[in-house]
């Protein structure tokens, strides 16, 4: 990532105050997984201006055509992804519909500058939050995060906000239709893939057929989600995107918002549950205890802002969104051509356990959404 010295100096002045120069500074690239098509790079700029240290976080946001993993998308669908993915949506974090409706205990980072590199790439210069490591999250962090996300949902569920955000679930359907149903689902029919030694050693004998059942139910699950009360959510509320500043232990700093369209109540709890497990920082065995506290905490957060949701509807939105988004994409198929190492075998075992947990969590929902959505026995809260 190449940064302009002039811009670095101007941003340093915004951080330190008028007439402050950047002093000696350097760029620290940040390693990251290229899982997001819209993320082109991350870096931290550090400086020392006459003994005053400073730092900013810089993110390169891009059209998916620059994504290094674009080749994993079937060629026939690549152009559609590049045309339709709302890659600039992260800017919504600082706009009124999000930033002006935050509950207590949730804020966004300071945005110092946006640099438009060209029509398909931009740089975000933002506050470098000194946060605790996501590995240090406790059950109380999950509980408080769920409360905050419930409050966010309550504050962003008014008719005027929802009406301005478009059709319910359109961004989720875009992801599921491309990355899930066109990208991951075909792997379920590839006998050679399921005979691969890495796969055989990691998955249980029933997982493939169980995922096939889920794939068949995904359209009905999406239809069911559209019948639930809708909110505007964070959209990608994993612990990695809810930073806990060391100096503000009771606050979460939201980053990397996504899916800024009406979504089923409870949607944000899915990524909150599995984000660290997907990154290999939490074992699947720890997920049941986290799962058990999320819905009650989310309901508590909504009630704090005058919305009294049906917990069953929250559970349906939470589990349905998680299953549609992650059940078929959690196995790391893209690694099967890599050298077989102990580390890779461990990754497959972790992801297989995660996938099994998501599949099991979703089976009650699958049974209810395998019939027409209007006949689904789960109760629906009136929007």
**Residues 64, 120 share a domain:** yes
- Provide the pLDDT for residue 34: 61
* CB contact burial 25-58 (16+ within 10 A = b; e otherwise): beeeeeeeeeebbbbbbebebebebeeeebebbb
Quick: pLDDT tens for 75-114. Answer: 777 888 888 888 898 899 999 999 999 999 999 999 999 9
Whole-number average pLDDT of the chain: 90
Q: Say which residue the tokens 């989720």 belong to.
A: 172
**Residues 317, 266 share a domain:** yes
105 part of a folded domain? no
Q: Which two tokens stand for residue 234?
A: 């964070």
Mean pLDDT over 229-236 rounds to 95
80 part of a folded domain? no
Q: How is residue 291 annotated by DSSP?
A: H
213 part of a folded domain? yes
Q: In this model, does residue 74 exceed pLDDT 80?
A: no
Count of domains observed in the chain: 2
In this structure, what CATH number is given to the domain that contains residue 345? Answer: 3.90.1200.10
257: nearest Cα among 371, 111, 383 = 111
Q: Say which residue the tokens 């102990």 belong to.
A: 342
217 part of a folded domain? yes
Contact criterion met (CB below 8 Å) for 60 and 40: yes
Quick: pLDDT tens for 313-336. Answer: 999 999 999 999 999 999 999 899
- Provide the pLDDT for residue 117: 93
Mean pLDDT over 293-306 rounds to 97
81 part of a folded domain? no
Strand 252-254 and strand 106-107: the pairing is: parallel
**Residues 171, 46 share a domain:** no
- Provide the pLDDT for residue 91: 92
**Residues 186, 58 share a domain:** no
Mean pLDDT over 224-249 rounds to 95
Mean pLDDT over 330-355 rounds to 94
Quick: pLDDT tens for 104-116. Answer: 999 999 999 999 9
**Residues 248, 310 share a domain:** yes
257 part of a folded domain? yes
How many Å apart are CA 197 and CA 110, to the nearest integer? Answer: 48
Domain that holds residue 210: 129-375
- Provide the pLDDT for residue 73: 74
**Residues 256, 352 share a domain:** yes
Q: In this model, does residue 200 exceed pLDDT 50?
A: yes
Residue 96 burial by Cβ neighbours in a 10 Å radius (0-12, 13-18, 19+): exposed
Q: In this model, does residue 45 exceed pLDDT 70?
A: yes
Does residue 176 or residue 179 have the better pLDDT?
A: 176
How many Å apart are CA 98 and CA 106, to the nearest integer? Answer: 11
- Provide the pLDDT for residue 115: 95
Counting residues of the chain whose pLDDT is more than 90, the rounded percentage is 75
Helices (H) and strands (E) in the chain, counts: 13, 10
pLDDT level of residue 370 (50, 70, 90 thresholds): very low
**Residues 282, 238 share a domain:** yes
**Residues 150, 34 share a domain:** no
Q: In this model, does residue 372 exceed pLDDT 50?
A: no
pLDDT level of residue 368 (50, 70, 90 thresholds): low
Contact criterion met (CB below 8 Å) for 281 and 331: no
Contact criterion met (CB below 8 Å) for 355 and 327: yes
- Provide the pLDDT for residue 363: 86
């Amino acid at each position: 990532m190449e940064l302009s010295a002039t811009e670095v100096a101007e941003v340093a002045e915004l951080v330190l105050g008028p007439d402050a120069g950047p002093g000696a500074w350097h760029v620290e690239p940040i390693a990251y997984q290229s899982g997001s098509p819209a993320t082109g790079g991350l870096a931290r700029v550090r400086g020392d201006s006459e003994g005053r240290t400073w730092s900013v976080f810089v993110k390169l946001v891009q059209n998916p055509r620059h994504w290094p993993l674009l080749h994993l998308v079937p060629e026939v669908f690549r152009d559609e992804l590049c045309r339709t993915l709302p890659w600039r949506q992260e800017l919504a974090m600082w706009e009124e519909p999000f930033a002006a409706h935050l509950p207590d205990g949730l804020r966004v980072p300071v945005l110092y500058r946006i640099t438009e590199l060209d029509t398909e790439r931009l740089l975000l210069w933002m506050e470098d939050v000194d946060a605790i490591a996501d590995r240090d999250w406790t059950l109380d962090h999950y509980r408080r995060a769920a409360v905050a996300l419930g409050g966010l949902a309550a504050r962003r569920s008014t008719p005027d906000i929802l009406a301005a955000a478009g059709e319910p679930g359109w961004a989720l359907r875009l992801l599921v239709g491309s990355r899930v149903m066109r990208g991951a689902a075909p792997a379920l029919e590839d006998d050679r893939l399921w005979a691969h030694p890495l796969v055989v050693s990691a998955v249980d004998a029933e997982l493939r057929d169980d995922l096939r059942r889920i794939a068949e139910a995904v359209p009905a699950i999406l239809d069911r989600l559209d019948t639930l009360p809708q909110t505007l959510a964070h959209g990608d509320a994993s612990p990695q995107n809810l930073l806990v500043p060391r100096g503000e232990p009771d606050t979460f700093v939201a980053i990397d918002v996504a899916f800024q369209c009406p979504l089923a109540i409870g949607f944000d709890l899915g990524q909150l549950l599995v984000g660290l497990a997907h990154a290999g920082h939490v074992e699947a065995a720890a997920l049941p205890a986290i799962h058990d506290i999320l819905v009650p905490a989310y309901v508590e957060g909504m009630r704090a802002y005058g919305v009294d949701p049906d917990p069953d509807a929250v559970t349906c939105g939470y589990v349905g969104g998680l299953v549609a988004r992650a059940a078929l994409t959690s196995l790391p198929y893209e690694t099967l051509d890599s050298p077989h190492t102990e580390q890779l075998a461990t990754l497959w075992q972790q992801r297989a356990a995660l996938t099994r947990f998501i599949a099991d969590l979703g089976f009650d929902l699958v049974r209810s959404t395998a019939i027409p959505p209007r006949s689904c026995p789960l109760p629906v809260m009136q929007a």
